[in-house]
Structure 1
Amino acid sequence: MTNKLSLSIMCADQLNLKGALEDAAHIRANFIHADIMDGNFVHNITLGFDQLRMLAENSSVPVDAHLMVSNLDMAIPLVLDTGCSHVCFHIEATHTPIRYLRQIRESGKQAGIAINPHGSIDFLQHLHQYVDYVLVMTVEPGFAGQKFLEHTALKIKEIRELIGPDKDIMVDGNIGLDSARLCREYGANVFVLGTSVAYSQQQINEAQIQTFRDKLDVPVQ
């Protein structure tokens, strides 16, 4: 699998999101990672769907949307109308994931499942054929700047064995050089970069991103 970068828009300067889009294009990121939090599924609130639409419409870099919301019946139709290329939701938020995965795929987008650090992956035995990618949270979801949870690397290994070699495994949560190496060793290939690498005081850090590319063998697209 090709290694890829996704820049977390949550860690950028929220008063200059246009600049963040330009930065992502300049460093040739594969994706912009947009977290949607409802204050219910997690104890934080981030972008709304109108903001997400504006980001996607004005970005030359594909936007992957990570739904951390409780009401998927409400959220899925809204996110599908934003222009994002990838949409994932938490398996913990629903008892009917196939319905949502089909809905996302039928809209022409890539459909993903997100898994909390302590969540079970047993469901993938029955769902992997409906999933285009898996997002593994390597910190508890909701806030940036948390400590990387090393046990999640073993979860990545099990997921790779279940979904095979051809689907992306994305990792999100305090992804730096050391944690990324560990995740890659166990099968991850898409790295969501935030304050550990991509941003210093909400400003893009090109030097650190280039070092990450060189050390992790992430090609420029």
Structure 2
Amino acid sequence: MPAKRARIEDDVVADYLAMLIRPGDKTLQIGGSELGTVFLQRGTFHEVIAPLADIDLLQAHCERRSVNTDRLSQQSGLKPQPDRSQLDAALISSDLGFPALAGNWRQIAGRMKLGGVLVLMGAGHGSTARLADALTADDSWALQEMVAGDVAVFRKTSLSDDAETRARLLEAGNPRRLPRGLKPGLVAGLMRTLFGGQTRARSRALAQRGR
């Protein structure tokens, strides 16, 4: 099937994104991922910061799925241009080194709306595990849930402080420190079962305040 994704986990994440975002949202993607097609299919104003080859691949996926790309904007460098517009949601793929990832995140964190959502791919390993550690330690962000194994969903719960964001990133990026990351497990599943209703209600309230 031409529209079939390579991994069944990506189909699960795609379904989750389709429920999470709404037409007219302003969204951002860092790194290459065909999941960017979901944002565009839902009618968001989608910005991509990725190497040119990854942008071309995303456009090819859009063409294959008959997804309109009129609302797609792109930057082929990995350093975002200054932009003060606020974001409803962001997707970060797991194919970037930590220095580039951290540099992008510092500029993007302040753009996220209160109640905005970050979807972090591969949060259990590598560079994105380090970013997951930084976000877990940052009071401005709360882990909402894990999806399809190693995809972490964070919700912005308070205004970001750039000094704290930088401090958390420096701590998480220490090469002498092994990243913990976020992995699915019994304890995490139990906590979501016990407190998931409260978390979802709080997240919905934050999302309404941020939109």
Instruction: Report the TM-score range of the alignment, normalised by the length of the smaller protein.
Output: 0.3 to 0.5
Task: Judging by fraction of residues, say which structure has more helix.
Answer: 2
- Relative to the length of structure 1, the TM-score reads 0.34
- The two structures have a TM-score, normalised by structure 2, of 0.35
Higher relative contact order (CA 8 A, sep 6+): 1
